[in-house]
Amino acid sequence: MIDLKSRILDVPDFPKKGIVFKDITPLLADAKGFAETIDRLAEPFVGRGVQIVAGIESRGFLLATPIAYRLGAGVVPIRKKGKLPRAVKSASYALEYGTDSIEAHADAFSQGAKVLLVDDVLATGGTAAAAVKLIEDVGGELVGAAFLIELGFLNGRKKLPGRRIESLVTY
Ligand code: AMP
């Protein structure tokens, strides 16, 4: 197995002071590291009937798309507010100051579709919890959520009670 952590860089004080940004671009640029990342993220969900992999803008797209291909599923983008061209459903989540929202096309998948949620980092869990709400609002059935990185000290899992959460590396 490849040491994934050795290819993830810590960038202190980005995008603002006090945040240690996890830069996954060296891992994605490494052919073997990228392949292993996708295989290992997909593995727990092989044979579980996943029909749609929903990725959160924007680094989530880089992971969700090859995972969907690997699982023989379709891929759906969950985007920041105002980016999708047709009728949307939205879900809000708290930021340090105020709120933001994410959106999916209201007809992004059929009722009862089995959906896997994918993002690069599970931090406080606010974004993922909003994404789960959105997926269910559109009519999907959440099979689970897969993250490359989990910042365990922020307890993001607590915002996703009863959900199947998989992550490859924890800090
Ligand atoms: P949260 O809603 O707090 O769980 O934050 C998750 C979202 O913010 C994900 O879409 C991540 O891409 C991004 N994010 C949060 N913390 C970090 C971090 N330390 N490094 C890189 N991305 C992060």
Q: How far is CA 50 from the centre of its chain?
A: 15
Q: In angstroms, what is the span from residue 53 Cα to ligand 1's centroid? A: 19
49, pLDDT greater than 90: yes
Per-residue pLDDT of 90-131, as tens digits, reads 999 998 788 999 999 999 999 999 999 999 999 999 999 999
- Residue 163 pLDDT grade (very low, low, confident, very high; cuts 50, 70, 90): very high
SS3 61: helix
Annotated catalytic residues are 59, 96
Lining ligand 1 with CB less than 6 A are 19-22, 56, 59, 119-128, 156
Pocket test for ligand 1, best of 59, 92, 100, 121 (most atoms within 8 A of CB): 121
Q: 146 has which bridge partners?
A: 118, 166
Q: For position 97, what pLDDT does the model report?
A: 83
Q: What spacing in Å lies between the alpha carbon of 140 and ligand 1's midpoint? A: 23
Q: Region 75-86: what's the mean pLDDT?
A: 98
The 10 Å Cβ neighbour count of residue 161 is 7
The pLDDT value recorded for residue 148 is 98
Q: What is the DSSP letter of 150?
A: E
Ligand 1, from 127, 134, 171: best to mutate by most atoms within 8 Å of Cβ? 127
Mean pLDDT, the chain, rounded, equals 97
Model's pTM, two decimal places? 0.98
Distance from C-alpha of 135 to C-alpha of 137, rounded to nearest angstrom: 5
The two structure tokens encoding residue 114 = 């089995």
Residues constituting the chain: 171
pLDDT number for residue 95: 87
Predicted local confidence at residue 45, as pLDDT = 98
Identify the CA nearest to 19 among candidates 116, 133, 151, 120. Answer: 151
10 Å CB burial of residue 112 (0-12, 13-18, 19+) is exposed
Interval 140-161 mean pLDDT: 98
Residue 151 CA: nearest ligand 1 atom is: 19
Higher pLDDT residue, 43 or 95? 43
| Mean local confidence (pLDDT), 58-75 | 98
**What pLDDT is recorded for position 96?**
79
> What is the set of domains in the chain, with CATH numbers?
49-170 (3.40.50.2020)
What's the pLDDT score for residue 9? 98
